[in-house]
A and B are shown apart, each in its own frame.
Chain A
Amino acid sequence: EPEVTQTPSHQVTQMGQEVILRCVPISNHLYFYWYRQILGQKVEFLVSFYNNEISEKSEIFDDQFSVERPDGSNFTLKIRSTKLEDSAMYFCASSERGTQGKELFFGSGTQLSVL
């Protein structure tokens, strides 16, 4: 069964450092997303991406965050200068269409720890 793959599974970084979280969406999917879950809190939407541009972003997704699809298979989330409060599990997701949430397929996540 096709799946969304995320690397690394764990990332530890120092405050102020840049991190790049990587995702390989399902190959025929066209819509891509990042969500995150801070420990003890809800899963929250960060950004949706389609046709090489951001479709929607949350208030969390400020200028420190960026997304990119550098080639035909990868989808990345970059945090330019990490803060302690960026520590969370980051989930990448993809879907064939943007019309219904039931088609979101999530990866296993990257646990980001900012020290």
Chain B
Amino acid sequence: DQQVKQNSPSLSVQEGRISILNCDYTNSMFDYFLWYKKYPAEGPTFLISISSIKDKNEDGRFTVFLNKSAKHLSLHIVPSQPGDSAVYFCAARRTDSWGKLQFGAGTQVVVTP
């Protein structure tokens, strides 16, 4: 199942700089997109989301951008902090399937001092 793709398995960024995580999807029925963060031995934690009727949503240091025509979304973290080191998952949901999230494979972010 490749409906949600995160093509970068890892990302290393310096503290204070911007982290940009990318996600592509193929299913045009997706209407809601989410980013989750996961630390080892913990479950995914919700970060930020965006509806398909918007192209940007911002929450503090986190901004998600959606380009529907390209079926692409990105998560910007600025400034990056050491505590941001985690695996980040992109997920998508269809209107008619509210509980079923399709996850990407994840991107391991490492923030270095």
Q: Which of A62-70, A76-84, A91-99 contacts B (4 or more CB under 8 A)?
A: A91-99
Q: Which residues of the partner chain A approach B98 to less than 8 Å between Cβ atoms?
A: 48, 98-101
Decide yes or no: A48 and B100 within 8 Å by CB, A42-B105, A43-B89, A101-B49 being known contacts.
yes
The majority secondary structure among interface residues of chain B is strand
Flag if B102 contacts A45 (CB, 8 Å).
yes
Q: How many A-B residue pairs have CB under 8 A?
A: 67
Q: Which residues of the partner chain A approach B102 to less than 8 Å between Cβ atoms?
A: 45
User: Among the listed A42, A56, A108, which residue makes an inter-chain contact with B43, where contact means beta carbons less than 8 Å apart?
Assistant: A108
Task: Among B44, B99, B104, B105, find the residue whose CB has the most chain A CB atoms closer than 10 A.
Answer: B99
Decide yes or no: A56 and B46 within 8 Å by CB, A42-B104, A44-B103, A100-B32 being known contacts.
no
CA distance A93 to B78 in the complex (A): 29
Distance (Å) between the CB of A24 and the closest chain B CB?
13
Decide yes or no: A98 and B99 within 8 Å by CB, A42-B104, A43-B89 being known contacts.
yes
Total number of A residues with any Cβ neighbor in B under 8 Å: 28
Does B69 reach chain A (CB closer than 8 Å)? no
Flag if A104 contacts B46 (CB, 8 Å).
yes
Does B112 reach chain A (CB closer than 8 Å)? no
Q: Which residues of the partner chain A approach B101 to less than 8 Å between Cβ atoms?
A: 35, 43, 45, 101, 104
Distance (Å) between the CB of A100 and the closest chain B CB?
6
Does A25 reach chain B (CB closer than 8 Å)? no
Does A75 reach chain B (CB closer than 8 Å)? no
CA distance A109 to B43 in the complex (A): 6
Residues of A within 8 A of B (CB): 4, 31, 33, 35, 41-45, 48, 55-56, 58, 91, 93, 95, 98-109
Residues of B within 8 A of A (CB): 1, 32, 34, 41-46, 49, 89, 91, 93, 97-106
Given contact pairs A33-B99, A93-B43, A101-B46, enumerate 20 new A-B contacts (beta carbons under 8 Å). Answer: A4-B43, A31-B99, A42-B103, A43-B44, A43-B89, A43-B103, A58-B100, A91-B43, A99-B98, A101-B32, A101-B34, A101-B49, A101-B93, A101-B99, A102-B49, A104-B99, A104-B101, A106-B43, A108-B43, A109-B42
